[in-house]
Amino acid sequence: MRVAIAVPVGADEGVFDLEAELSAWLCSAGGIGPTMSWMTRLEVVEELPRTSNGSGANRGRHGSGKGGQIAVLWTSLDEEEGWTKPTVGEVEMVEAALLASQRDEYADLAILGAKAIPVIKLNKAYPYLKKYLEKGVLSLTDGGPEAAKGRYAVGVGVALTLLDEGIRKRQDAEGSPNESWILASQQALARGVLSMRPSFDELARETGVED
Protein backbone atom coordinates (compact mmCIF):
# COMPACT_ATOMS: atom_id res chain seq x y z
CA MET A 1 0.00 0.00 0.00
CA ARG A 2 1.28 3.48 -0.87
CA VAL A 3 0.12 6.71 0.75
CA ALA A 4 0.65 10.15 -0.81
CA ILE A 5 0.79 13.22 1.42
CA ALA A 6 0.23 16.71 0.00
CA VAL A 7 1.79 19.57 1.96
CA PRO A 8 0.22 22.96 1.13
CA VAL A 9 2.34 26.01 0.38
CA GLY A 10 3.02 27.96 3.55
CA ALA A 11 2.65 24.98 5.88
CA ASP A 12 4.51 25.13 9.20
CA GLU A 13 7.99 23.65 9.05
CA GLY A 14 9.10 21.09 11.58
CA VAL A 15 9.06 17.41 12.52
CA PHE A 16 5.68 15.78 13.10
CA ASP A 17 4.44 12.35 14.13
CA LEU A 18 2.13 10.88 11.51
CA GLU A 19 -0.14 7.91 12.20
CA ALA A 20 -1.86 6.01 9.38
CA GLU A 21 -4.66 3.57 10.12
CA LEU A 22 -6.22 0.93 7.88
CA SER A 23 -9.53 -0.55 8.98
CA ALA A 24 -12.39 -2.61 7.52
CA TRP A 25 -10.23 -3.97 4.68
CA LEU A 26 -11.13 -7.09 2.72
CA CYS A 27 -8.89 -10.16 3.05
CA SER A 28 -7.99 -11.97 -0.17
CA ALA A 29 -9.37 -15.17 1.37
CA GLY A 30 -12.59 -13.42 2.40
CA GLY A 31 -13.75 -11.57 5.47
CA ILE A 32 -12.68 -8.26 6.97
CA GLY A 33 -9.15 -7.87 8.30
CA PRO A 34 -8.17 -6.34 11.66
CA THR A 35 -7.39 -2.66 12.09
CA MET A 36 -3.71 -1.92 11.46
CA SER A 37 -1.83 1.29 12.21
CA TRP A 38 1.63 2.68 11.46
CA MET A 39 3.46 5.54 13.12
CA THR A 40 6.12 7.44 11.20
CA ARG A 41 7.86 10.79 11.39
CA LEU A 42 7.29 13.53 8.81
CA GLU A 43 9.64 16.47 8.38
CA VAL A 44 8.39 19.57 6.55
CA VAL A 45 11.10 21.84 5.09
CA GLU A 46 11.05 24.94 2.90
CA GLU A 47 13.36 23.39 0.30
CA LEU A 48 15.24 20.14 -0.17
CA PRO A 49 19.01 20.31 0.41
CA ARG A 50 21.05 21.09 -2.66
CA THR A 51 22.60 18.03 -4.28
CA SER A 52 24.30 17.12 -7.53
CA ASN A 53 22.40 13.84 -7.83
CA GLY A 54 19.31 15.33 -9.47
CA SER A 55 18.62 15.35 -13.19
CA GLY A 56 16.75 17.37 -15.77
CA ALA A 57 15.81 21.05 -15.46
CA ASN A 58 16.25 21.06 -11.68
CA ARG A 59 19.68 19.40 -11.68
CA GLY A 60 21.83 20.58 -8.77
CA ARG A 61 18.87 22.01 -6.86
CA HIS A 62 16.73 19.03 -5.93
CA GLY A 63 17.54 15.37 -5.46
CA SER A 64 15.46 12.88 -7.38
CA GLY A 65 12.74 11.26 -5.31
CA LYS A 66 13.09 7.76 -3.94
CA GLY A 67 10.75 4.93 -4.86
CA GLY A 68 8.73 4.30 -7.99
CA GLN A 69 6.09 6.59 -9.43
CA ILE A 70 3.40 5.40 -11.83
CA ALA A 71 0.97 7.66 -13.68
CA VAL A 72 -2.44 6.65 -15.05
CA LEU A 73 -3.99 8.44 -18.03
CA TRP A 74 -7.38 7.85 -19.64
CA THR A 75 -7.12 8.29 -23.39
CA SER A 76 -9.01 7.51 -26.61
CA LEU A 77 -8.58 6.02 -30.06
CA ASP A 78 -8.28 9.50 -31.58
CA GLU A 79 -5.31 10.32 -29.37
CA GLU A 80 -3.34 7.08 -29.76
CA GLU A 81 -1.85 5.85 -33.00
CA GLY A 82 -2.57 2.22 -33.82
CA TRP A 83 -5.24 1.72 -31.16
CA THR A 84 -8.52 -0.02 -31.98
CA LYS A 85 -11.65 -0.60 -29.89
CA PRO A 86 -10.34 -3.91 -28.44
CA THR A 87 -7.18 -2.15 -27.20
CA VAL A 88 -7.15 -2.21 -23.40
CA GLY A 89 -4.21 0.15 -23.01
CA GLU A 90 -0.44 0.16 -22.80
CA VAL A 91 2.47 1.07 -20.56
CA GLU A 92 4.79 3.76 -21.87
CA MET A 93 7.95 5.19 -20.30
CA VAL A 94 7.78 9.00 -20.24
CA GLU A 95 10.14 11.61 -18.81
CA ALA A 96 8.68 12.92 -15.55
CA ALA A 97 9.27 16.58 -16.45
CA LEU A 98 7.50 16.15 -19.79
CA LEU A 99 4.49 14.51 -18.17
CA ALA A 100 4.38 17.22 -15.50
CA SER A 101 4.34 19.95 -18.15
CA GLN A 102 1.46 18.31 -20.02
CA ARG A 103 -0.78 17.15 -17.17
CA ASP A 104 -1.57 19.39 -14.20
CA GLU A 105 -2.42 16.45 -11.95
CA TYR A 106 1.20 15.25 -12.24
CA ALA A 107 2.86 18.67 -11.87
CA ASP A 108 4.63 17.54 -8.68
CA LEU A 109 6.67 15.05 -10.72
CA ALA A 110 8.60 17.89 -12.37
CA ILE A 111 11.22 17.58 -9.62
CA LEU A 112 12.26 14.21 -11.11
CA GLY A 113 13.43 15.90 -14.30
CA ALA A 114 14.42 13.54 -17.09
CA LYS A 115 13.78 10.39 -15.05
CA ALA A 116 11.54 8.03 -17.03
CA ILE A 117 8.45 6.77 -15.19
CA PRO A 118 5.81 4.24 -16.28
CA VAL A 119 2.64 5.82 -17.64
CA ILE A 120 -0.35 3.48 -17.85
CA LYS A 121 -2.62 4.57 -20.69
CA LEU A 122 -6.14 3.14 -20.54
CA ASN A 123 -8.70 3.10 -23.35
CA LYS A 124 -11.81 4.86 -22.03
CA ALA A 125 -13.80 3.41 -24.95
CA TYR A 126 -12.87 -0.23 -24.23
CA PRO A 127 -16.17 -2.07 -25.02
CA TYR A 128 -16.20 -4.34 -21.96
CA LEU A 129 -15.54 -1.40 -19.65
CA LYS A 130 -18.40 0.56 -21.22
CA LYS A 131 -20.67 -2.45 -20.84
CA TYR A 132 -19.75 -2.76 -17.16
CA LEU A 133 -20.47 0.92 -16.57
CA GLU A 134 -23.84 0.65 -18.32
CA LYS A 135 -25.08 -2.45 -16.49
CA GLY A 136 -26.44 -0.58 -13.51
CA VAL A 137 -23.91 -2.10 -11.10
CA LEU A 138 -22.89 1.44 -10.20
CA SER A 139 -26.01 1.72 -8.07
CA LEU A 140 -24.56 -0.91 -5.77
CA THR A 141 -21.81 1.32 -4.44
CA ASP A 142 -21.17 5.00 -3.80
CA GLY A 143 -19.10 7.15 -6.11
CA GLY A 144 -20.79 6.51 -9.45
CA PRO A 145 -18.96 6.05 -12.77
CA GLU A 146 -15.75 7.82 -11.73
CA ALA A 147 -15.29 5.62 -8.66
CA ALA A 148 -15.99 2.51 -10.75
CA LYS A 149 -13.46 3.60 -13.38
CA GLY A 150 -10.95 4.23 -10.62
CA ARG A 151 -11.35 0.69 -9.28
CA TYR A 152 -10.99 -0.69 -12.81
CA ALA A 153 -7.86 1.44 -13.36
CA VAL A 154 -6.20 0.01 -10.25
CA GLY A 155 -6.83 -3.62 -11.21
CA VAL A 156 -6.03 -3.31 -14.90
CA GLY A 157 -3.15 -0.90 -14.28
CA VAL A 158 -1.37 -3.39 -12.03
CA ALA A 159 -2.02 -6.19 -14.52
CA LEU A 160 -0.70 -4.19 -17.49
CA THR A 161 2.39 -3.15 -15.54
CA LEU A 162 3.24 -6.75 -14.64
CA LEU A 163 2.56 -7.86 -18.22
CA ASP A 164 4.83 -5.11 -19.54
CA GLU A 165 7.62 -6.19 -17.19
CA GLY A 166 7.25 -9.76 -18.44
CA ILE A 167 7.36 -8.62 -22.06
CA ARG A 168 10.52 -6.59 -21.49
CA LYS A 169 12.26 -9.57 -19.88
CA ARG A 170 11.14 -11.81 -22.73
CA GLN A 171 12.45 -9.30 -25.27
CA ASP A 172 15.88 -9.48 -23.68
CA ALA A 173 15.92 -13.28 -23.65
CA GLU A 174 13.85 -14.40 -26.64
CA GLY A 175 12.88 -11.35 -28.69
CA SER A 176 9.67 -9.38 -28.77
CA PRO A 177 6.34 -11.32 -28.72
CA ASN A 178 3.95 -10.61 -31.58
CA GLU A 179 1.25 -7.94 -31.27
CA SER A 180 -1.65 -10.40 -31.42
CA TRP A 181 -0.30 -12.25 -28.37
CA ILE A 182 0.10 -8.97 -26.45
CA LEU A 183 -3.43 -7.83 -27.38
CA ALA A 184 -4.95 -11.18 -26.37
CA SER A 185 -3.10 -11.09 -23.03
CA GLN A 186 -4.24 -7.55 -22.29
CA GLN A 187 -7.85 -8.39 -23.11
CA ALA A 188 -7.77 -11.49 -20.91
CA LEU A 189 -6.44 -9.46 -17.99
CA ALA A 190 -8.98 -6.66 -18.40
CA ARG A 191 -11.94 -9.01 -18.77
CA GLY A 192 -10.76 -10.95 -15.73
CA VAL A 193 -10.74 -7.76 -13.66
CA LEU A 194 -14.18 -6.75 -14.94
CA SER A 195 -15.66 -10.19 -14.29
CA MET A 196 -14.89 -9.78 -10.57
CA ARG A 197 -16.17 -6.22 -10.22
CA PRO A 198 -19.95 -6.87 -9.93
CA SER A 199 -19.44 -9.43 -7.16
CA PHE A 200 -17.13 -7.10 -5.27
CA ASP A 201 -19.54 -4.17 -5.73
CA GLU A 202 -22.37 -6.21 -4.26
CA LEU A 203 -20.20 -7.37 -1.36
CA ALA A 204 -19.12 -3.79 -0.70
CA ARG A 205 -22.74 -2.67 -0.54
CA GLU A 206 -23.74 -5.46 1.84
CA THR A 207 -20.81 -4.89 4.20
CA GLY A 208 -20.66 -1.12 3.89
CA VAL A 209 -17.05 -1.31 2.72
CA GLU A 210 -15.73 0.66 -0.26
CA ASP A 211 -12.34 0.00 -1.83
Strands 71-75 and 116-123: parallel
Q: pTM above 0.85? A: no
The pLDDT-based confidence of 70 (bands split at 50, 70, 90) is confident
User: Which residue in 118, 69, 68, 131 sits closest to 90, CA to CA?
Assistant: 118
The pLDDT-based confidence of 67 (bands split at 50, 70, 90) is very low
The pLDDT-based confidence of 60 (bands split at 50, 70, 90) is very low
Q: Where are the domains of the chain?
A: 67-207
Per residue in 13-33, pLDDT tens?
888 888 888 776 666 555 566
* Rounded Cα–Cα distance for residues 151 and 199 (Å): 13
- Give the mean pLDDT of 177-202: 75
- In this predicted structure, what is the pLDDT of residue 53? 42
